[in-house]
Structure 1
Amino acid sequence: MPARVAIVIRTKNRGEFLRRALADVASQTFDDWEVIVVNDRGAREAVEDAVAVSGIGNKVTIIDTHPPGGRCAAANAGLRASDAALAVLHDDDDRWHPDFLQRAVAWLDEHPSDAGVMTATAIVYEERGADGWVETARVPYWEGLRAITYTDLLEINRAVPISFLYRRWLHDDVGFYDESLDAVEDWEFYLRVTLRHHIGFIGGEPLAYWTQRPAARGDDGNSMFALADQHERDDVAVRDEALRRWVEENGAGLPLYIGLVERRLREDMRTMFDDLLREQHRLHEARHPIWSRLRRLRHRLRNAPSRAGGAGEPS
């Protein structure tokens, strides 16, 4: 029988992180899972070494992406390699609370109409120390979040893969991750999912930990920072594609009107900014009224030498 949960770990030349991720999975209180490690065109030997020392090698499958590879291709390859009913992406540098799987699986068992469940998440900041990566701070990600809704996702992503356990049949329903994207593939997938299905949410104590290393680059870098340009580009690409599909079906009337309103708001904001600058200039001038200028002039005249007296003589 297949395991209940497929845990897909994407990795590339990050043996240290992969070893930590496998240890993180091994520490879960729920153990009916399998791990698919997807080596995205990295050194295969480093992956095999990490699996060999993990102690869970009998539950791990290693696969490799084919050129050109990439984050989405790696995710899709791992998902297609499993028959498990539930799936989650556990990137090699992220982590879980030991009860993450137990509580998320229990939620889906208790809420059969939910297509998946997300959990409260913490951002964990790390810096390189003498003995490896060291946590330097921990802050809530979207503190106070109580639900994942399509409306909120239209504005900005409020979830990360490490926090989302979902039913594998979602990919049969809405498709896999969009391999034309280099970033924001999770957000684009969540938009397709929440358009059709309800996603549960487990609040309270964070059960998922999204690690970030703002100063790291190269193989150790976070996509959040190392791929910042791609994030901005692909965010616009997703929105543009969705808008073009909408216009093809409904015409350009509403978007054109919204564009006009946006232009007028921008012009109004520019006018308000100019007015604020003028008011700031006026207040600055008000600090130096004419009477203060006259007082300074009188002070100078009192202390000036008398023209009637000799040089150096008082007036």
Structure 2
Amino acid sequence: MSATNPRVGVAVRTKNRPWFLKRTIADIVAQRYASWSVHIVNDGGDPSAVDALVSALPDEQRRRIRISHNPAPSGRSAAANQAIRGLDTEFVVLHDDDDLWDPGFLEATVAHLDAQPNDVGVMVRTEIVYEKQEAGEFIETGRAPFWPGLTEITYSDLLQVNRAVPISYLYRRSLHEEVGYYREDLHAVEDWEFNLRTTLRHHIGFLDGEPLAFWMQRAGVGGELGNSMYALASEHEHFDRLVRDEALRAYVEQNGPGLALYLTRYIQDEVQRQLDERRGPGQRIIEAARGWRRRQRQR
């Protein structure tokens, strides 16, 4: 497959992070699988820094990269959609500008989707990499597995919490024509909500083994250099609740409030019962005695 007709489109969203973007471009170029193109959406950042990075690349690499400059920020989800819409490839993957791949990521994921035509996409074993800023660069300080017990991607598991990050997920671009794009009113958890829509209808494969994707995290780093796990923590919580509340209201509107009312009280009572069991009989007797004394004093 020639570079002029690539199979994989890599969507990159960035804003005023040239050090990370340079690392991301090098990460993509280092892939053993060579049939790729890149669309970088500079979402309201300095255009000169992005242009300079790409202009410095060899001709063969530079021809594979398209840049779109937004004069003002459009938001994380809108930038992701813009980057994907600018790609005309069989497969797409969202490569945030601070995350990384193993050199075999594209090779392994494309091979899986070629061998498994019923899988709409495939996710890989992922590792968290912690890093800190030092002398104008970011250096690794440690690693941790991301969902080490994960063996498959299921809708029921995703209902609880997202078990994937965009850097780990290659999928068929045609999926967007069926289930839509990332919701642009969500400024966090947009990938989780998209994965829920996807797994409601389709199966996503999973490649176990050594990690092929690396989710970079920088605790304590805020602003434009922060990663969403920390810099957008409150937004994650807000939009997670929003998505769940929308789904609950849609269910109740169609089916009535009975099950929702029952479960909210049942879960509350069950949690209290389990807490009571953990306290043990001795502690329960002491607490009962304290309650009795409080009631006596209030008489």
Is TM > 0.5 for Structure 1 vs Structure 2? yes
Determine the C-alpha separation between the residues in 2 that align with 1:240 and 1:247. 10
In structure 2, relative to structure 1, the CA distance for the partners of 1:72 and 1:273 (3 Å cut) is same
> 1:242 and 2:210 equivalent?
no
Residues 19 and 54 in structure 1, CA contact (< 8 A), matched pair in contact too: no
Cα deviations across residues 229-255 of structure 1 (Å, max 9, x unaligned)? 000001000111111111222121111
2:44 maps to a residue whose letter is R
Determine the C-alpha separation between the residues in 2 that align with 1:149 and 1:67. 37
**Aligned with 1:59 (options 48, 56, 64):** 64
Determine the C-alpha separation between the residues in 1 that align with 2:32 and 2:93. 16
Pick which of 160-169 and 122-131 moved more. 122-131
Unpaired stretches in structure 1, ≥5 consecutive residues? 283-315
Q: How does 1:73-84 map to 2 (within 5 A)?
A: 73-84=78-89
SS state at 2:194 partner: helix
Cα deviations across residues 95-137 of structure 1 (Å, max 9, x unaligned)? 0000000010000000011000000000000011226111111
Pick which of 60-69 and 113-122 moved more. 60-69
Cα deviations across residues 65-119 of structure 1 (Å, max 9, x unaligned)? 4655010000000111111010000000000000000010000000011000000
Q: 1:265 Cα shift?
A: 3.0
Q: Which residue of 1 aligns with 2:131?
A: 126
Unpaired stretches in structure 2, ≥5 consecutive residues? 288-299
1:139 maps to a residue whose letter is A
SS state at 1:196 partner: coil
Residues 124 and 206 in structure 2, CA contact (< 8 A), matched pair in contact too: yes
Determine the C-alpha separation between the residues in 2 that align with 1:271 and 1:123. 36
In structure 2, relative to structure 1, the CA distance for the partners of 1:179 and 1:20 (3 Å cut) is same
Pick which of 243-252 and 30-39 moved more. 243-252
Q: 1:54 Cα shift?
A: 3.5
Q: 1:260 Cα shift?
A: 2.1
**Aligned with 1:160 (options 162, 165, 177):** 165
In structure 2, relative to structure 1, the CA distance for the partners of 1:110 and 1:275 (3 Å cut) is closer
Q: Which residue of 2 aligns with 1:7?
A: 10
Q: How does 1:88-237 map to 2 (within 5 A)?
A: 88-130=93-135, 132-237=137-242
Determine the C-alpha separation between the residues in 1 that align with 2:133 and 2:56. 23
Residues 276 and 284 in structure 2, CA contact (< 8 A), matched pair in contact too: no
2:38 maps to a residue whose letter is V
Residues 43 and 73 in structure 2, CA contact (< 8 A), matched pair in contact too: no
Residues 183 and 230 in structure 1, CA contact (< 8 A), matched pair in contact too: yes
Q: 1:264 Cα shift?
A: 2.5
Cα deviations across residues 48-71 of structure 1 (Å, max 9, x unaligned)? 112122432111000134655010
Q: Which residue of 2 aligns with 1:253?
A: 258
Q: 1:268 Cα shift?
A: 3.9
Residues 18 and 92 in structure 1, CA contact (< 8 A), matched pair in contact too: yes
Determine the C-alpha separation between the residues in 2 that align with 1:63 and 1:261. 51
Cα RMSD for the two superposed structures: 2.0
Q: Which residue of 2 aligns with 1:41?
A: 44
Determine the C-alpha separation between the residues in 1 that align with 2:271 and 2:137. 48
What is the TM-score of this pair, normalised by structure 1? 0.85
Residues 154 and 191 in structure 1, CA contact (< 8 A), matched pair in contact too: yes
Residues 85 and 167 in structure 1, CA contact (< 8 A), matched pair in contact too: yes
In structure 2, relative to structure 1, the CA distance for the partners of 1:210 and 1:276 (3 Å cut) is farther
Q: 1:165 Cα shift?
A: 0.1
> 1:21 and 2:24 equivalent?
yes
What is the TM-score of this pair, normalised by structure 2? 0.89
Q: 1:221 Cα shift?
A: 0.3
Determine the C-alpha separation between the residues in 1 that align with 2:81 and 2:115. 28
In structure 2, relative to structure 1, the CA distance for the partners of 1:42 and 1:279 (3 Å cut) is same
Determine the C-alpha separation between the residues in 2 that align with 1:134 and 1:67. 30
Residues 94 and 162 in structure 1, CA contact (< 8 A), matched pair in contact too: yes
Q: 1:273 Cα shift?
A: 7.9
1:158 maps to a residue whose letter is R
Residues 65 and 73 in structure 1, CA contact (< 8 A), matched pair in contact too: no
Residues 23 and 54 in structure 1, CA contact (< 8 A), matched pair in contact too: no
Q: 1:161 Cα shift?
A: 0.2
Q: Which residue of 1 aligns with 2:297?
A: none
